[in-house]
Structure 1
Amino acid sequence: MRTYLDCIPCFVKQALGAARQVTDDEVLIERVMKRVCLAASELSMTESSPVMGQKIHRIIREETGCGDPYAEIKKLSNEMAMRMVDGAKAEIEAAKQVGNEVSGFEVAVRYAIAGNSMDFAIYLEWDEKRLNDSLAVLREKVIDKQAVADLWEAIGKAEKILVLADNAGEIVFDRLLMETLPAKVLPRITYAVKGSAVINDALREDADEVGVSDLVTVIDNGTDAPGTVLEQCSDEFMKAYHEADVVISKGQANYETLRASCEMTCSLSNGSLRKKRISHEPASDCFTGHMTRNDATCSSGCDREVYFLLQVKCPIIGKYVDQGKEVGDWVVQRYRP
């Protein structure tokens, strides 16, 4: 997804909130904001908004000298989520007893989406009530149950599964989701966190802290961008991404970046090679006009199936998910290009 004019006020709000996480020095904050506004003025609107988020948080880290402004929030998020594990496990097991394995899996998916409320790119202050409110409506939220069933079936058949993490705290519920799967599946799972600090996105130390590293293989994607900007990701990550039979993507930023415009190298009828940037709009394909799947390859990974799990927190995003969603809706989407 490209950046929209509506995104620009959010960039400014996010930058101001993040700077105030670190310092109350108004002179320093003013310097941060001037640099952010300049960067926003130079941003290509064809890029996804998390690319601007990456620039914002690099500026904040450079100006303040704080390598991880959200470290304390991430710690609080992990601790809060861990306190809820026993209750969540009991509810998942109860669903299995009343229904079947898929019923328990659906409840675990719902917990994983509830955890996506722990997003400090959108919500700028610590508030335990936000997660509690999400958990309170966990069974009421409408989700695509067919997509849940499809995901369960796909996982059962997959030799390699890649899960793209989003936020600290939220990853506790991702762990619960993975624990719901048959034990034989766990060695097939790779869990990808960020390469270095950005907002409250999960890092390797968060995966270690909440026990994900004890359960499945953990890698990082080699970047400090929110979401998954594939052209920036490490070779290790890209190998896992392309080899995975199933990719599960958590959160809104991953949705934005994986549905972003892609670079294609197209072999045309005259044999020449040309690069063309094509924007991914709803239900669009990379391949248009004279180009076919046989004569084009997409380096940004848009030409693959991805299961997206997220809460809609932005009306622009809502327009692109499942033929239109409202802010606050929950999404399980099987995306097929």
Structure 2
Amino acid sequence: MKIKRDCYVCIYNQALNVTKRLYLDENKASNILRGVALILSKYDLSFTPPDIAKEVYEYIRKKLNINDPFKKEKEISIKEALNFKPLLEEKLKNSKSPLFDACKIAIAGNIIDLGVNQEYDLNKEIENIFNMNFIHNDFNKLENKLKKAKTLCYLADNAGENVFDEILIKVIKKIYPKIKVYYLVRGKPIINDITVNDLKGSEISNFAEIIDTGVDTPGFSLKYANSKSKEIFYNADLVISKGMGNFEVLFGECGREVFYLFKVKCGVVANACGCEKGDNVILKGEK
């Protein structure tokens, strides 16, 4: 998905919010923001939003000499999500459609996004989780694919969201115990996206093999992915992609069938998938 004019403003505002989150003084913030403006000016409409975000956040990290500016926020998000895990798993025990409801849980977790969403209400999202409505709902196609799949490539997104992914993957493994699941995460810190280091102590490794993709964009950009993750992506029987960043770099670009699960959080993505901001999506893309 290529950028639109609104993306320039969105990425600039993300940089502005980073300066506020880190409590930078006016001089430091001004220096950062002027540099970001120069970076944005280099990119035409042939690029994807995560392509540009990669350079912007890399620039911010180097200027501030901070490897992971969102480290604390990621830790807080994971702890908060873990508080909901027992409740959600208990509710799934009484579900008549545990796989579909687990998909809803995974999508609800996509509200945790400090790139586009500077503020979010996870409590409110959890309250309405099983009443979730969909504009695009290709769940039946996804379920049919799972019945036949021997391998699943699951593209991760944000820290905290991984807890909700774990619940879905656990349900998938319970229904289809022979399926091999690969959980692909970012190679370096980028916004609040999940990395291998963020998953230390996580139970998800009991249900999936965690793969460091080498990617340092807020989306699984194939041009930055290492050979192992690309091999898994293209050879897996099924790909589930979580979050808008993965959608932005893969939709219409990757040349294979992907099931996109996410919450629409911006107008540009809404237009791309025929939705409105705030909609929930289970969308089969390509082939």
Same fold, TM exceeding 0.5? yes
SS in 2 for 1:8: helix
Is contact 2:149-2:179 (8 Å) kept? no
Residues 118 and 169 in structure 1, CA contact (< 8 A), matched pair in contact too: yes
Structure 1 position 33, deviation (Å): 0.5
Structure 2 residue matching 1:7: 3-state secondary structure: helix
Name the counterpart of 2:157.
166
Q: Is 2:27 the counterpart of 1:27?
A: yes
Given the alignment of the two structures, is residue 201 of structure 1 paired with residue 201 of structure 2, yes or no?
A: no
Distance 1:154 1:227 in 2: 23
Contact 2:138 2:283 in 1 (8 A): yes
RMSD of the alignment, in Å? Answer: 1.6
C-alpha distance in 2 between matches for 1:19 and 1:6? 20
Amino acid at match of 1:226: P
Judging changes above 3 Å, is the alpha-carbon distance between structure 1 residues 150 and 248 closer, same or farther for their aligned structure 2 residues?
A: same
Matched, 1:330 2:280: yes
Question: Higher relative contact order by CA 8 Å / sep ≥ 6: 1 or 2?
Answer: 2
- For 1:76 and 1:57, how far apart are their aligned partners in 2? 21
Q: Is the 8 A contact 2:137 2:282 kept in 1?
A: no
- Aligned runs of 1:116-155 on 2, under 5 Å? 116-125=110-119, 130-143=121-134, 147-155=138-146
Counterpart of 2:56 in structure 1 is 56
The reply on whether 1:312 has 2:264 as its aligned counterpart is yes
Quote the Cα distance in structure 2 between the aligned partners of 1:222 and 1:19.
26
TM-score relative to the length of structure 2: 0.95
Spell out, residue by residue over 1:66-113, the C-alpha distance to the aligned partner (whole angstroms, 9 max, x if none).
100000000000000001011101111111xxx2xxx11111100100
1:232 to 224, 247, 258: 224
Q: Return the structure number with greater helix share.
A: 2
The answer for the alignment partner of 1:7 in structure 2 is 7
Does the CA-based 8 Å contact 1:194-1:222 persist in structure 2? yes
Structure 1's consecutive aligned runs of 4 or more residues displaced over 3 angstroms after TM superposition are: 182-187
Report sequence identity in percent. 29
Of 82-91 and 141-150, the range deviating more from structure 2: 141-150
**Structure 2 CA distance for aligned equivalents of residues 304 and 326 of structure 1:** 25
Is contact 2:102–2:171 with CA below 8 Å preserved after alignment? yes
Tell me the residue number matched to 1:295. Answer: none
| 1: CA distance, partners of 2:235 / 2:193 | 24
Q: Is the 8 A contact 1:168 1:206 kept in 2?
A: yes
Structure 2 letter corresponding to 1:124: Q
Where does the alignment leave 5 or more consecutive residues of structure 1 unmatched? 260-279, 281-299
Q: Which residue of 2 aligns with 1:180?
A: 171
- Output one character per residue of 1:223-260: Cα deviation in whole Å (capped at 9) or x when no partner: 2101111111101111111111100000001001002x
Partner Cα distance (1:178, 1:317) in 2: 26
- Say which is worse superposed, 173-182 or 16-25, in terms of deviation: 16-25
In structure 2, the CA distance between the partners of 1:220 and 1:186, relative to structure 1 (3 Å rule), is farther
- Establish whether residue 36 from structure 1 lines up as the match of residue 36 from structure 2: yes
TM-superposed CA distance for 1:186, in Å, is 6.3
